[in-house]
Structure 1
Amino acid sequence: MSSRESLIESTRSLLWERGYVGTSPKAIQQRAGAGQGSMYHHFSGKEELALAAIERSAEVLREVADAQLSTEGTAYARIEAFLRRERDVLRGCPIGRLTQDPDVMATPALRAPVEETFAWLRGRLTAVLQDGLDHGEFPGTLDPSTTALAIVAVMQGGYVLARADDSPQRFEEAATGILGLLAAYRRPETE
């Protein structure tokens, strides 16, 4: 791994663990095994490096989500695969956790990839649900856009509840709850 990549990956990990304020240039350099000169050779400062790390986290999240949401099967099955995929629930969502960081949210450049990622996820889920509508899996009374928003909200809330209770089970329960509500909309012949 190049020193640039090591700096980005170290920053991704530190942002996830400590947030923006808790991620000092020194901590990044120590974790990356890179010197100050190397850091400032590749990035103008902490904000530019944090932006690269947030953009990388967003890219990874989109790739993983898209892999599950693009598989064969019903819309319900694809959403279930997405919600039930293996993840480190107690660490939380690397993008969702950034919304709780006032420094990230107050810095337009850092906030932008967070907003874009959630907009992409809502849009991707909306498309999957619309596909379910188009194929008769769900009745016309299901609103794909608001349902997608509810899925994202439950998922992010599941991370919060799991961390609060120190129990991955809370995330699983939240996923089971939203999937149960979605299943109630399904037409019996498509199950």
Structure 2
Amino acid sequence: MYSGLMSTPERLIESTRELLWERGYVGTSPKAIQQHAGAGQGSMYHHFTGKPDLALAAIRRTAEQMRATAEAVLGGTGPAYARIEAYVLRERDVLKGCPVGRLTMDPDVIADDELRAPVTETLDWLRERLAAIVEEGCAQGEFTPGLDPQQVASTVVATVQGGYVLARSAGSPAAFDTAVRGLLALLAAARTPASAPAAS
């Protein structure tokens, strides 16, 4: 399943990430991780003290990748609206859900301060990153005065995460698309006439 060039710790972390996403913490047993990674029990416990230690490494990796993926879109130099639009419309496996967002619904992760920390930190980072972009747009006259960057950022994150839930419930990515396009319509209404694209 994995490249022969991937080290055993990497295989174990990647396997745990996939299994946490698919099965949750309780459903991800050490035996399932070992089988998925093609690693023996001794090898697993040589690199990690146990399942919680490995799960923490996997959750941190998932959080890091989510930040990197978001920053690749949000970190551009274009208008604020365009960067937010690119973020919410970027290609996703909508029906699988957000790997970080789904961890918030895992009671075993949320009940453990150490496992929950990377999840909370990542969602906080995303809200702050989006708020900074909205604030930048306000400062440059792209959005109408009075727009609250923190409120907009929280709305963007809530819409994306809620869109995953709607899509999974409906069994169709269309529900996600409808949610984020509704959000963009509201945000577009807050653009100043000078920044909005001219009608064709």
Shorter-chain TM band: over 0.9
Cα deviation code 1:14-47 (max 9, x no counterpart): 0001100010101101110101111101110000
State the structure with more CA Rg: 2
Could you tell me which runs of 5 or more consecutive residues in structure 1 were left unpaired when the two chains were aligned: none
The partner residue of 2:177 within 152, 161, 172 is 172
Could you tell me which runs of 5 or more consecutive residues in structure 2 were left unpaired when the two chains were aligned: 1-5
By how many angstroms is 1:72 displaced?
Answer: 2.5
Q: Aligned with 1:190: secondary structure?
A: coil
Q: State the identity as a percent.
A: 64
Quote the Cα distance in structure 2 between the aligned partners of 1:22 and 1:188. 52
Quote the Cα distance in structure 1 between the aligned partners of 2:123 and 2:132. 14
The root-mean-square deviation of aligned C-alpha atoms, in Å, is: 0.6
- Pairing 1:1-191 to 2, within 5 Å after superposition: 1-191=6-196
Quote the Cα distance in structure 2 between the aligned partners of 1:42 and 1:122. 34
Q: Which runs of 4+ in 1 moved over 4 A?
A: none
TM-score (norm 1): 0.99
Letter in 1 for 2:131: T
Quote the Cα distance in structure 1 between the aligned partners of 2:42 and 2:136. 51
Paired residues in the alignment total 191
By how many angstroms is 1:186 displaced?
Answer: 0.3
TM-score (norm 2): 0.94
By how many angstroms is 1:125 displaced?
Answer: 0.3
Quote the Cα distance in structure 2 between the aligned partners of 1:72 and 1:113. 28
